[in-house]
Amino acid sequence: MQDVDEALILRCSKCSTAAEPDSNQAQCAVCGALLELVAPPPKVRGDALRRIFADRRGTHGGRDTSGVWRYRELLAVRADDVITFPEGNTPLIHGGRAAHWAGCPTLRVKHEGLNPTGSFKDRGMTVGITQAKRVGAWAVACASTGNTAASMAAYAARAGIPALVFIPAGKVAMGKLSQALAYGARTLVVRGDFDACLELARRAARELGIYLLNSVNPYRLEGQKTIVLEMLEQCGWDAPDWIALPAGNLGNTAAFGMALAAARDCGLISRVPRLLAVQAEGAAPFAHAFDVGFEALQPIRPNTVATAINIGDPASYDRAVRSIRETDGIVTTVSDTELLEAKAVIDAAGIGCEPASAAAVAGVRRMIREGVISDDADVVSVLTGHVLKDPEATVGYHGQSVPGRALSNPPVEIDATIDDLRRTLDRA
Ligand code: F0G
């Protein structure tokens, strides 16, 4: 079986200027746009390719057990000496009561929170860290709202590479911060927001020669493409009508469009699903740009309880615009109240996710209510992060009784007596 090799090309996504694939370069030296990886199309297509992917599922150990590397024919990467947990292999399940809440009875969710460090970031990180190791990086760095930091810290530890994370002060959920510390990353709490952290991380990469592992790194996006590839395989290669996802720095929106194009070009799917990218109202520069036909991106000062997507100046904007255009997609917003309610429903369904992930399901509900998506549409919503990532959000929601919070489930304190237990249960 062919593995991608010297034919790998790194080039500008706008002006096509070539760059060295093993450089630590994310932006075009000529026009400043982000770089992308390109590889020759695989020699096998359609059914033959489907069979290769399916056969690898039965193996034990090594890269074929990874839900990322298993799809390597469709990734513009070199697939030797990989650093894998393994990651991926996440379930695609019915949304239970969340499907009914959204008004989409057949809604399915792809739970990326069930990756090794609890978010979809592990899919990009296995590829990013493998590349960092290949080029002999002396240290890796990322700016993060928390999940990238947790993932990079873990994979860097596995690879034996020192890790440096930049996180915005007071804006990172406790589960994620605790992971970065636990996995041994040097954790810098920056007085500024995520956008300031990313600016600083990019400077550190340029001036200190640290290998940058944000999603501006093209290797990260190659790995993230497999969320969609694995989902399509789980759908029996019968593509859903819509794929909904939360959108922040827009790396995932970009990667999803790339994956769908690759799946179509290789004859794996006969029609391309539409993307529904969902932002929080208080952090919605992409949705605002969509509303004016993507005329221009106006960076904003973000403010949402969904800290993972609290981003005002998304780095992968251009590539994400391409994804939305190519899939006839839509970008919408939901309020913090809506996304917290969606989270409560998803959690109560026994599925669980972090607030940003729930935004996508809230977005599906909004689009169905507005008649943009029909209630019999086949929709898959991607849950990007685990319920344990943001315990403050969960306990905050359930801990206080707020009017209108029908799903609030506050803890009840009792005496250590059977009588008090009986009284409490009677009251319930
Ligand atoms: N959902 C979760 C749980 C995230 O952590 C992120 C991004 C997103 C959605 C948005 O994805 O940026 O590709 O549009 N988290 C990044 C981080 C920014 O630093 O962990 P995106």
Domains of the chain as residue ranges with CATH: 92-117+221-398 (3.40.50.1100)
Per DSSP, the three-state class of 147 is: helix
Q: Which atom of ligand 1 is nearest to the CA of 224?
A: 13
Ligand 1 mean position, distance from CA 147 (Å): 7
Please give the Cα distance from 423 to 414 (Å, whole number).
10
- Please report the DSSP string for 275-313 in residue order: EEEEEEGGG-HHHHHHHTTT----------S-GGG--SS
Q: Which atom of ligand 1 is nearest to the CA of 215?
A: 13
Ligand 1 mean position, distance from CA 388 (Å): 16
pLDDT tens by residue, the chain, 428 residues: 344 456 899 999 999 999 999 988 899 999 999 999 999 999 999 999 999 999 999 888 899 999 999 999 999 999 999 999 999 999 999 999 999 999 999 999 999 999 999 999 999 999 999 999 999 999 999 999 999 999 999 999 999 999 999 999 999 999 999 999 999 999 999 999 999 999 999 999 999 999 999 999 999 999 999 999 999 999 999 999 999 999 999 999 999 999 999 999 999 999 999 999 999 999 999 999 999 999 999 999 999 999 999 999 999 999 999 999 999 999 999 999 999 999 999 999 999 999 999 999 999 999 999 999 999 999 999 999 999 999 999 999 998 767 778 889 999 999 999 999 999 999 87
Q: Which atom of ligand 1 is nearest to the CA of 311?
A: 18
Ligand 1 mean position, distance from CA 251 (Å): 8
Mutate to test the pocket of ligand 1, among 145, 151, 278, 297 (most ligand atoms within 8 A of CB): 145
Q: What is the pLDDT of residue 1?
A: 38
- Please report the DSSP string for 163-209 in residue order: EEEEEETT-S-HHHHHHHHHTT-EEEEESS-HHHHHHHHHHHHHHH-
Ligand 1 mean position, distance from CA 144 (Å): 8
Mutate to test the pocket of ligand 1, among 309, 343, 387, 388 (most ligand atoms within 8 A of CB): 309
Q: What is the pLDDT of residue 400?
A: 72
355-369 vs 336-348: helix axis angle to the nearest 10? 100
* Long-range Cβ contact pairs of 260-267 (< 8 A, separation 24 or more): 260/228, 260/323, 260/326, 260/327, 261/326, 262/74, 262/225, 262/229, 263/74, 263/228, 263/229, 263/232, 263/239, 265/41, 266/41, 266/42, 266/45, 266/46, 266/49, 266/73, 266/74, 267/45, 267/46, 267/49
Pick the residue whose CA is nearest to atom 15 on ligand 1. 308
* Alpha-carbon Rg for the chain in angstroms: 21
Please give the Cα distance from 302 to 128 (Å, whole number).
28
Cβ-proximal residues to 326 (8 Å cutoff; 6+ apart), any chain:
257, 260, 261, 272
Residues with CB under 6 A from ligand 1: 119, 121, 144-148, 215, 246-253, 308-309, 354, 356-357, 384-385
Mutate to test the pocket of ligand 1, among 164, 252, 321 (most ligand atoms within 8 A of CB): 252
Q: Which atom of ligand 1 is nearest to the CA of 150?
A: 20
Ligand 1 mean position, distance from CA 292 (Å): 24
Ligand 1 mean position, distance from CA 312 (Å): 13
Ligand 1 mean position, distance from CA 9 (Å): 27
Ligand 1 mean position, distance from CA 96 (Å): 25
DSSP 34: B
**pTM of the full structure:** 0.97
What are the residues facing 9 on neighbouring strands?
38
Burial class (CB in 10 A: 0-12, 13-18, 19+), 178: middle
CB distance 221 to 215 below 8 Å = yes
Q: Which atom of ligand 1 is nearest to the CA of 113?
A: 3
Q: Which helix (H) or strand (E) holds 233?
A: helix 218-234
What are the residues facing 211 on neighbouring strands?
140
Ligand 1 mean position, distance from CA 19 (Å): 27
* Torsion, CA 391, CA 191, CA 297, CA 245, rounded to 10: -20
What are the residues facing 108 on neighbouring strands?
94, 380
Question: Which is it for strands 9-12 and 18-19: parallel, antiparallel or unpaired?
Answer: antiparallel
- Please report the DSSP string for 3-30 in residue order: ---TT-EEEETTT--EE-TTSS--B-TT
Task: Give the residue among 249, 244, 227, 252 at the shortest CA–CA distance from 360.
Answer: 244
Ligand 1 mean position, distance from CA 148 (Å): 7
Cβ-proximal residues to 262 (8 Å cutoff; 6+ apart), any chain:
74, 225, 229
Please give the Cα distance from 320 to 324 (Å, whole number).
6
Ligand 1 mean position, distance from CA 192 (Å): 18
Structure tokens at 41: 């199309």
Mutate to test the pocket of ligand 1, among 147, 243, 276 (most ligand atoms within 8 A of CB): 147
- Please report the DSSP string for 376-405 in residue order: TS-EEEEE-B-GGG-HHHHHHHHHS--TT-
Q: Which atom of ligand 1 is nearest to the CA of 245?
A: 9
Task: Give the residue among 282, 281, 263, 285 at the shortest CA–CA distance from 272.
Answer: 263
Burial class (CB in 10 A: 0-12, 13-18, 19+), 138: exposed
